[in-house]
């Protein structure tokens, strides 16, 4: 059945104002209707037509044909940033003098629709998750993909304004005002007050939000990063659809607000481990560990927004009974999740410092521990290059202990490591630090950080025979993908400057021989952190 026949059914049915008849007609024609609070989405075998519902729900107004056309144009333009092959065009729905409806006909335009290619639902992230097929590698690739998108996204005075506390507070208060009459169906009065008080209290710390603005982290993002909008191609491509087009202030915002939608969604689906992995990978790829200063707030905010949206559909008399009941269940879960982000974390915070000689296996070990703890890993190599305005794999080789590796520069790097670790710990999460920690003073500083937060501390010292270290360094020579600038002629001098680790009690010091098989060391580390 072609688009013209579909739209004939659509417009005739809309004219009758009978959604039940429309649904029956479409099902008979082989199309599936998906209802949202703002759209009717008609799914064919290979194509999709999306029509805006003529509604005004406060944060959007689609009540006129002109407004719906503008929203369709914006949807196509904005979504081509992350799904260029999916969004075909905006198509008019016309009716001629004989009452015949078609797409792009010669008659009067009576509606507009976004025309899209249909994507394979089995490749959608939430479907993969439900089938047990969403792998950690998918999460890593997605985090990297979004980090690159954010890096090139619009960032100017207009977008930055939406990261200011006054603007965020308006959005937060609007959420609570719009749910005053409905939230009692899902939360007790005390629970509702608790969420509202906590979110507004978080906004009282204006400096942390302004620091995000000053750092250029408020951008024109996606605004609705949910699992059901993410598709993984069999060719390892990633397509993300359905960004917010109807209200710029919901799309402009802190990149942390954007990724918090996905981490919250993973948690909503019961995969907190993947949610934390996603955040950690994004922080690494974007060099944005400061996001942990605000991400708990944004996760709660996003969960409440989803609860609000679901509650609107639950109260929509035009929606089917099944759709309303499903929306009620979703609203209850989202509102409860919004409350959960101010509670103790599932993974208790701790500090793990991974140190040792150059090429002793620190980075691989730190990555393994980060996976085991679902914790962010902060690398001294990446931090050093970020501070110098260089890419992670850019070479900064110079004379030993000079330039970017001078004592002063190294001190600055360690200060930044500790600053970022402090932010992560303050969010209630564990942190893994990947650096040499070659002096007792360096080790003492990170140990004192753990003590200030009242959390456990462990230094994992990586060791390997000198011959193996030399082999590893030789293998890196000239590699364009390695982040370390260490080289073989530094082995002896580095060893001479490395202060023996004998000041820590055995409970805070683990020696790891990285010449052993990786699986053996992983099991040892797993046992260490599970005990």
Higher pLDDT, 215 or 57: 215
Q: Does residue 374 sit in helix, strand or coil?
A: coil
> Does the structure show a pLDDT above 80 at 489?
no
Domains of the chain and CATH, by start? 3-118 (no CATH), 123-340 (3.90.1200.10), 351-530 (3.40.50.300)
pLDDT in tens, 246-279: 989 889 999 999 999 999 999 999 999 999 999 9
Least confident of 14-23, 363-372, 394-403: 14-23
pLDDT number for residue 396: 66
Q: Which of 89-98, 167-176, 481-490 has the highest mean pLDDT?
A: 167-176
Task: Report pTM.
Answer: 0.90
Phi, psi of 214 (to 5 degrees): -65, -30
Q: How confident is the model at residue 531 (pLDDT cuts 50, 70, 90)?
A: confident
Q: Report how far residue 416's alpha carbon sits from residue 374's, in angstroms, rounded to the nearest whole number.
A: 22
Mean pLDDT of 25-38: 70
The tokens for 354 are 């991974």
Question: What is the signed CA dihedral for 399, 402, 407, 413, rounded to 10 degrees?
Answer: -100
Mean of the per-residue pLDDT values for the chain?
A: 89
Percent of the chain whose pLDDT exceeds 70: 88
pLDDT number for residue 492: 84
- Strand residues in 405-500 grouped as ranges (E): 431-434, 457-463
pLDDT number for residue 18: 32
> Does the structure show a pLDDT above 60 at 15?
no
pLDDT number for residue 488: 66
> Does the structure show a pLDDT above 90 at 101?
no
Residue written as token pair 């799904």: 83
pLDDT in tens, 119-136: 999 999 999 999 999 999
Cβ atoms of 366 and 354 within 8 Å: the answer is: yes
Question: What is the signed CA dihedral for 512, 516, 517, 523, rounded to 10 degrees?
Answer: -30
Higher pLDDT, 476 or 488: 476
Q: How confident is the model at residue 110 (pLDDT cuts 50, 70, 90)?
A: confident
Higher pLDDT, 294 or 323: 294
């Amino acid at each position: 059945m072609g688009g013209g026949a579909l739209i004939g059914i659509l417009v005739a049915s809309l004219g009758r104002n009978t959604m039940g008849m429309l649904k029956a007609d479409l099902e008979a024609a082989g199309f599936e209707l998906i209802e949202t609070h703002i759209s009717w989405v008609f799914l064919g075998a290979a194509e999709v037509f999306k029509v805006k519902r003529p509604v005004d729900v406060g944060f959007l107004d689609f009540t006129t044909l002109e407004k719906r056309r503008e929203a369709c144009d914006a949807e196509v333009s904005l979504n081509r940033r992350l799904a260029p092959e999916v969004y075909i065009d905006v198509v008019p729905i016309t009716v001629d003098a004989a009452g015949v409806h078609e797409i792009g006909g010669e008659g009067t335009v009576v509606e507009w629709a976004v025309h899209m290619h249909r994507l394979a639902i089995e490749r959608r992230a939430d479907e993969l998750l439900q089938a047990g097929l969403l792998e950690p590698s998918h999460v890593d690739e997605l985090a990297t993909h979004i980090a690159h998108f954010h890096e090139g996204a619009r960032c100017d005075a207009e977008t930055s304004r939406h990261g200011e506390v006054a603007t965020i507070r308006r959005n937060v208060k609007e959420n609570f005002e719009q749910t005053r009459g409905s939230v009692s169906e899902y939360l007790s009065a005390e629970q509702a007050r608790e969420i509202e008080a906590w979110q507004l209290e978080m906004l009282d710390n204006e400096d942390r939000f302004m620091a995000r603005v000053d750092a250029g982290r408020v951008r024109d993002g996606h605004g609705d990063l949910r699992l059901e909008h993410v598709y993984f191609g069999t060719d390892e491509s990633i397509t993300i659809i359905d960004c917010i087009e109807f209200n710029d202030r919901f799309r402009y915002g802190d990149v942390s607000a954007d990724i918090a939608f996905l981490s919250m969604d993973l948690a909503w689906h019961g995969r907190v481990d993947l949610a934390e992995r996603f955040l950690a990978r994004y922080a690494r790829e974007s060099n944005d560990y400061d996001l942990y200063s605000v991400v708990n707030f944004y996760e709660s905010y996003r969960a409440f927004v989803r609860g609000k949206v679901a509650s609107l559909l639950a109260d929509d008399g035009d929606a089917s009974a099944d759709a309303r009941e499903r929306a009620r269940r979703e609203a209850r879960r989202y509102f409860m999740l919004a409350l959960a982000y101010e509670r103790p974390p599932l993974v208790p915070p701790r500090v793990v410092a991974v140190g040792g000689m150059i090429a002793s296996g620190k980075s691989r070990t730190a990555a393994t521990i980060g996976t085991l703890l679902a914790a962010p890993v902060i690398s001294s190599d990446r931090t050093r290059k970020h501070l110098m305005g260089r890419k992670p794999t850019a070479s900064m080789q110079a004379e030993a202990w000079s330039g970017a590796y001078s004592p002063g520069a190294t001190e600055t790097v360690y200060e930044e490591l500790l600053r970022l670790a402090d932010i992560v710990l303050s969010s209630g999460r564990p942190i893994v630090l990947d650096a040499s920690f070659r002096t007792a003073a360096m080790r003492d500083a990170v140990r004192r950080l753990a003590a200030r937060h009242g959390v456990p501390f462990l230094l994992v010292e990586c060791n390997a025979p000198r011959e193996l270290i030399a082999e590893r360094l030789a293998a890196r020579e000239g590699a364009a993908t390695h982040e370390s600038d260490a080289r073989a002629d530094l082995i002896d001098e580095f060893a001479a400057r490395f202060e023996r680790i004998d000041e820590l009690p055995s409970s805070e010091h683990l020696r790891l021989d990285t010449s052993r098989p990786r699986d053996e060391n992983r099991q040892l580390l797993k046992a260490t952190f599970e005990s």
